[in-house]
Amino acid sequence: MLVSWKYRPRNTLIQRLDPRARLIFMLAALVSLLFFWDLRYELFFFVLALGQYTLARLSFRDTRRAWLLMGPLIVILTILTFLTGRFHEGVYTEEHVLGQLVLFSRLTIVFSAEKIAFAIAQLLRVTSITLLAVVIPYTIDPSLYGVTFRGLGLPDKFAYAMDLAFRLVPTLGRDFSITYDAQRARGYELEKLKGGIVAQIRRVAPLLVPVVIQAIVGGEEVIDSMDLRAFGVGPRTWLPQLKYSRADRLLLAFSVLLVTGGTALMVMGYGGFWVPEFLLRMAQP
């Protein structure tokens, strides 16, 4: 099997932006989003995240796997929180009851306006986080991660380690394929593990151990090559050069505004939990 990156070059505004600016924007949007529980504020961030996703021109086919996993997870955990009640003390102190369900004469599930509003806010929140996060691997060139993190202040050694890690993925993936085929030729079948849980896990070892040890042994040659080229002796230069354009500076300014504006609104008491009026009117007297 081939291990390949999800990134494809697309001539879009999102891909033309500097990856450093994009990562800073993603973190700023994430931090600001988590300040609020008001539906209306959550909706703003949802629209922002959806806008980025749309501008990236990613099709559902491209990101299908991410949504097939995250979609049910988001829904299930939202329902679970809805059924188990308050997220923590102080978010809301009274409930406007819309109805009750008694199970097994002992468990009482109360449906309230607050729970519905909270569930919707949580759904918007988690979906926005997913939308912000899922765009990154599809729209940033893997060969730029090292220089990107160096540009964000990571020391040379760590930035280079990140660059090397990205470059090693296809190589080690190919080694895995070779090892797996070799083991299969000897009668090893991963899909048909038998026995208890311990036996099944142990049966993964013939696949895991050779690949890891081979990678470590091969790593010794890389270490020698790097030492012979005086790695780490002085500051490192990078082949790709990143430069901020006007659009990148605007994005950075917007990111700063998001965080500072969000912090100011939060401190002034805005953006707290809010229940729509029509839900409150539906509550039982």
Partner 1 sequence: MKSKIWTWLIVLVVLAALMWVASALTGPEGTKLQGLTWLLWVVIAGVVIYILYFATSQSEAWAVGTRQVVYMAIGAALYGIFSWLFNGTVFVVPSVSLVSIRPAIALPIFFGYAFGPVVGFFTGAVGNILGDFITGWGVYPVWDIGNGLIGLVAGLVMLFPDRRKSLSTLTWLVGVLVLAAIGIIVLGPVVMHPWTGEEIPRMPWVWVVVIGGVLALAARFLMKPLGEDTAAINLWGALGIIIGIGFAAFADIWVNGYTFFVAMVGEFIPAAGPNIINAAILAPILLAAYKAVQARTGR
Least Å distance, CB 1 to partner 1, is 6
> Could you say whether residue 223 binds partner 1 (CB under 8 A)?
yes
The binder of partner 1 chosen from 15, 52, 63, 128 (CB under 8 A): 63
Nearest residue (CB) to partner 1, 191 versus 277: 191
> Could you say whether residue 69 binds partner 1 (CB under 8 A)?
yes
Cβ-based neighbours of 68, under 8 Å, separated by 6 or more = none
> Could you say whether residue 27 binds partner 1 (CB under 8 A)?
yes
> Could you say whether residue 211 binds partner 1 (CB under 8 A)?
yes
> Could you say whether residue 216 binds partner 1 (CB under 8 A)?
yes
The binder of partner 1 chosen from 16, 40, 84, 260 (CB under 8 A): 84
> Could you say whether residue 182 binds partner 1 (CB under 8 A)?
no
> Could you say whether residue 172 binds partner 1 (CB under 8 A)?
yes
Nearest residue (CB) to partner 1, 159 versus 249: 159
N residues, the chain:
285
> Could you say whether residue 185 binds partner 1 (CB under 8 A)?
no
Strand partners, 112: 97
User: Which phi and psi angles does 111 have, rounded to 5°?
Assistant: -100, 120
> Could you say whether residue 184 binds partner 1 (CB under 8 A)?
no
> Could you say whether residue 269 binds partner 1 (CB under 8 A)?
yes
> Could you say whether residue 200 binds partner 1 (CB under 8 A)?
yes
Calpha distance 116→79 (Å, rounded) = 10
120 in Cβ contact with 39 (< 8 Å)? yes
The number of residues that bind partner 1 (CB under 8 A) is 95
Residues 99 to 118: which contact partner 1 by CB under 8 A? 106-109, 118
> Could you say whether residue 256 binds partner 1 (CB under 8 A)?
no
Cβ-based neighbours of 240, under 8 Å, separated by 6 or more = 143, 144, 147
Cα Rg of the chain, angstroms: 25
**Residue 108 host element (H or E):** strand 107-112
Nearest residue (CB) to partner 1, 68 versus 245: 68
Q: How many CA atoms lie within 13 A of 8 on its CB side?
A: 8
242 in Cβ contact with 147 (< 8 Å)? yes
Give exposure, 113-127, as e/b (b: 16+ Cβ within 10 Å).
bbbbbbebbbbbbbb
